[in-house]
Structures are given as structure tokens and as C-alpha cells.
Amino acid sequence: MKPNLSQTRRRSYSAPDVSSRSSLPFGLTFLDPFFLQHYRVIGGLGRGGHGYVMSAIHRQSGLCVAVKLIIKADLAPNSLVKDPVEGGLIPLEIFLLRPLSHPNIIGYREHFQDRMFYYLVVDFHGISWSTPTTIQIQTQIELQIASNPNLRYLSIIPRRKYDLFECIARYKRFPEPIAQHIFSQIVNAVSYLARQGIYHCDIKDENILIDNHFNVKLADFGSACRIPRHTLLKQFHGTITFASPEILMGCRYNPEPAEIWSLGVLLHIILTGGLPFKSADEYIYSLYVPLDTMSPLLADLMISMLHKLPDQRISLEKLQQHPWISSII
């Protein structure tokens, strides 16, 4: 398993396979009447292999939220767990996210289901990093959709982008002080999850929402798992360009050092706007060489996160205590 790397970074999602019996045309999604009684859809935020994400307004409170539609037919049986609150089965993503409470993790609000979807409602966070022209065109379409309260079919168009991927695309790269502010929040979130026995397993800039003050929230727990520490995993459901060497070589892997590697790749992207390695072979075999522009503390941190051997990578506890991180936490 080797990543198809390019100097030009692109979004990692792929649209649902239209040949699958469970796939729906991206521009035609049936929305449950019960959902529309409680929420007014503003527009689409994105899509993934197993569903769509929309922005919506809660009709009673006026609160803006994000709603993830999880396609039931695409869920593997082992991704469903018993709901201890309401009974029945729910996706592991909902089960893991619901009890979490952390300023740098997207907040759960409610969930419900219909015949096709699980509806996961979470806090809305961030500002738009999309281009003004794109926003203007999309907003005109979305206003036409929102003006019809009886609408049951919605064209889910990609709308404004609120994530770190688009933020980096706007700024190209960040100086160390801003990178330090952004990254320390992400480390806080990942460390909090690990203390709950949870590993996100898909840490990347597309799954980090960010506002105009560079405050972030980790989102999308569709690949997350809860396991005892040091348990080895076999399957990988994350993003290949953030995968550690042991994952790329098809080995069983410990999720904590794999998360550390993903964090190292992410920090390099925040600082440079590009990937730390140019090919799959470099990901697996080449040593990471810090840029000359990096401070000594940052260079030391990068080397410790991007060590090829998982047992030689810095631990989450030591990562939080590293001087480059701890000076701001």
C-alpha cells in the first residue's frame, strides 16, 4: 500500500461509488420530514465515502449547526454499537463523540435516524476560507433552496470551506508562533482523546475546523476507535498521506505512535504548505530533515514525531511536555 503523492495537495475525500446499491446521487438527497421540521438547511459543507455534511439552522433556537448524514447501508456491521441511552444500534462515531467535552473537539448536540440515514448534529465552528466568487454563486443557489420550506429534495453542493486545509490554501504557510498556537490545540485534543482510550485515526487538516482567531476543533470521528493502550491494529481507515511507515508497509500498528506520525505530517504542512516527503519510498525509508528556517526546538520536535520506528517516536505525554508545545499550553 503506497500513497499516490503529488507536490500539489488535493482533498482526500472521494464521492460515494455510484455503482453501489447504497450510494445516492450527490446532487439528490432525500431529507426526512422530521428533520426539516426542526432544521432549515443552509447548504452543503462537504462529502465523504459514507455520507454528506450540511450546515443548518435550528428553527426554534436559531443556532447554526453542522449535520452529518451517515448512509446506513454503507456501514459495516462492526461499526455499529448498542446505544446505552436509547437502545438500538448507533454508529460508533456517535457513541464515541457524544460524551466528549473539550474546547478543541467538535461538540455533539443530538442525533436521530430515518430509513436511509443517521443524522449527527454537532456544533458549527470556523469561518469561510473559500473564495468570494465561489461563495456568491453558491449562496444564491442555497437561498433558493432554503426559501422553499416544503422541499424534500436538496442539491447538496460543496459550500464554504471552514477547515484548516482551506485556511492553509489561503495563507500558504504559517510562521512558527501561529503554527505553535494552532498545533498546541490539536495536541491538547488528541491527548484528551487518548486519556479516554480513543484514537481519532484520521488526523489531517481537512478534519480540523478553524476560525479567524486560529482557534481549532477536531472533527469527523468516522474512523475513530476506542481500544486499550498499546493494542495493535490491523485495519487502517484514515488518509494515506498521513499514514505512518508501519501502516504503509502493511504491519500491525500501535495507534498512538501512528497518531504522532500524523501530527508530525500535519505540523509540517502547517509550516510549509506541503507534504514532508515526495514519494511512498521516502515516507517509508527516508529520514526527516528539518528545514533550516526551523528553530532548534521545532526541529527537535519534528524529528521526534517523524521517526521511522514507532517505538522511537515521542509519546503523547512527552509531546505535550516538549518545550516548543508547553511554552504555549
C-alpha dihedral (196, 208, 175, 270), degrees to nearest 10: 90
Q: Which residues does the annotation mark as catalytic?
A: 202
Binding residues: 72
Q: What is the pLDDT of residue 253?
A: 97
No. of helices (H) and no. of strands (E), the chain: 11, 13
Confidence of residue 160 (pLDDT cuts 50, 70, 90): low
Under 8 Å CB-to-CB from 112, ≥6 apart: which residues? Answer: 34, 35, 118, 119
What pLDDT digit, counting tens, does each position of 257-273 carry? Answer: 999 999 999 999 999 99
Tell me the whole-structure pTM to 2 decimals. 0.84
Domains of the chain, first to last: 29-154 (3.30.200.20), 164-326 (1.10.510.10)
What percent of the chain has a predicted confidence (pLDDT) above 70?
80
For the purposes of burial, counting CB atoms within 10 Å of the CB of 239, is it exposed (0-12), middle (13-18) or buried (19 or more)? buried
Binding residues for ATP: 72
Q: What is the pLDDT of residue 146?
A: 44
Q: What is the pLDDT of residue 17?
A: 36
What pLDDT digit, counting tens, does each position of 85-94 carry? Answer: 888 999 999 9
Mean pLDDT for 52-60 is: 92
Please state, in angstroms and as integers, the Cα–Cα distance from residue 55 to each residue in 43, 123, 126, 235, 251, following that order.
6, 10, 12, 31, 39
Mean pLDDT for 199-216 is: 95
Q: What is the pLDDT of residue 46?
A: 77
What pLDDT digit, counting tens, does each position of 244-258 carry? Answer: 999 999 999 999 999
